Chains A and B, each alone.
Chain A
Amino acid sequence: MADELLLEVVTPDRRLLNRKVASVVAPGVMGEFGVLPGHVNFMTLLGTGILGFRTGDGVEALVVSRGYCEVVDNKVTVLAEVADLASEVDVQAAKEDLRQLEEKLKGKGPHDEEFPRLRAEVERATARISLGGGR
């Protein structure tokens, strides 16, 4: 059995990652889950949050949003609609986004048409802030 995983992260406009890692922690819609080598074939929807992975040199992370995660034969494929690498996160901009979103969310109930989308945006902004080391 292989002792490492191949992690691939792709979004509609680029391939972010394609590398060997030791383990992955991903934000599933039903809570975070971890993947180690030898994981059963598995398929899930991803929520918005921080996807972390461990390599020989340490732990790295990125923000993913609205995607899928497929685990087959020690290959972890993440298809995310939006993803930001830690190095690309601009905490200031994320905070600004968050502020604006909260503004927009004011006075909107959970039954509002826009609510789910705004909610997801808020989660993404929050994840970006915490990944960037803010707050």
Chain B
Amino acid sequence: MPSLRDIRKRIKSVKNTQKITKAMKMVAASKLRRSQEALMAARPYADKLVHVVGHVAARLGPDDLEKFPLLRHHPSPRKVLLVVITSDRGMAGAFNSNIIRRAERFLWEEKERHPEIRLAVIGRKARDAFRRSGHKAQEHVGVFESLTFARCKEIAASILKEYEDGNLDACFIIYNEFKSAISQKVIVEQFLPVVPAGRPVLTAGVEARGEQAEHGKGAAVDAVDYRYEPGKEGILEELVARHFTTQLWRALLESVASEHGARMSAMDNATRNAGEMVAALTLKYNRARQAYITKELMEIIGGAEALK
């Protein structure tokens, strides 16, 4: 039987923890709102770009495709880069472990099809996890401290360069998609070569966004060519590269918003659990106190009885 003082100490420490989790929840909630706004603001650009790339790609003939490695699909991609996006910080429930588990499954499952899978990690948690399991990876850490488009562009440019140099046949990205403040979804998406229009994805159960599916269809139907200025080549090359950068940017923003959402619900749970624990401990404390009083009374009565 723990003493009264021990229980009192426990209650106090649980209450303190509860205060911390509550504060973290508040912080996550406000960060969530900001990152959600950033995500919403980025979506029109990303969607428009998908739209434009879809338009243009639908109008390309097979000879054109030959000229654009970024659009050309490799018959049997050997050298594959897997970009894993996690957060820098933990305390967000299963947010990071879901991603890492999915990435490990990818490495395992795709080993046969792509004999050479390399890793690139964005976020400290993925880096730590893959270091522990002894995988080599390109590491991008500290991206989320101040997330800027310029930083994203650097990462994208380094991947694009490898692709253009022929060191890569394909590039996949694993990230958490922001569904709502309380739900995230792990997504595996092929980013290179660019899959025009719609977002056909490797994982099952990912619906192509309705709007984009429509774009794809529309583009195929009205096969009117554009007039390009300067030439088609110059434009497309840049367009597709920028498409990649933008998609990466979107993935990063999705991940950040999801992270805060996940942390918010994790901390909400923790706060609730702490509350329950305080209630249980208080009950125990009162019982112990009563038992103590009773015991003392009995002793006094016993003592008085003996004196008679």
Contact = CB atoms under 8 A, between A and B. Distances in A.
Interface of A: 8, 10-15, 28-30, 33, 40-45, 68, 70, 72, 77, 79, 81
Interface of B: 38, 41-42, 44-46, 48-49, 51-52, 55-56, 149, 224-230, 234-235, 238-239, 242, 246, 249
Given A13-B45, A30-B230, A72-B55, 19 more contacts: A10-B44, A10-B48, A12-B149, A13-B149, A14-B41, A14-B44, A33-B229, A40-B227, A42-B227, A43-B52, A43-B226, A43-B229, A44-B228, A44-B229, A45-B235, A68-B235, A79-B45, A79-B48, A79-B52
A51 B288 CA distance: 78
B49 A79 contact: yes
22 contacts: A10-B44, A11-B45, A12-B45, A12-B149, A15-B41, A15-B44, A29-B229, A29-B230, A30-B229, A30-B230, A41-B224, A41-B226, A41-B227, A43-B56, A43-B235, A68-B235, A68-B239, A70-B52, A77-B51, A79-B48, A79-B242, A81-B149
A72 B225 CA distance: 10
Contacts of A28: 229
A42 B226 contact: yes
Contacts of A30: 229-230
A12 B42 contact: yes
B41 A43 contact: no
Contacts of B238: 45
Contacts of B230: 29-30, 44-45
Nearest to B47: A10
A16 to B, nearest CB: 10
B150 to A, nearest CB: 10
A10 B47 CA distance: 10
A10 B38 CA distance: 13
A30 B55 CA distance: 22
A12 B229 contact: no
B239 A13 contact: no
Contacts of B226: 41-43, 70, 72
Contacts of A44: 228-230, 235
* Residue with the highest number of chain B CB atoms closer than 10 Å, among A28, A30, A42, A79: A79
B63 to A, nearest CB: 19
A30 B52 CA distance: 20
A64 B172 CA distance: 32
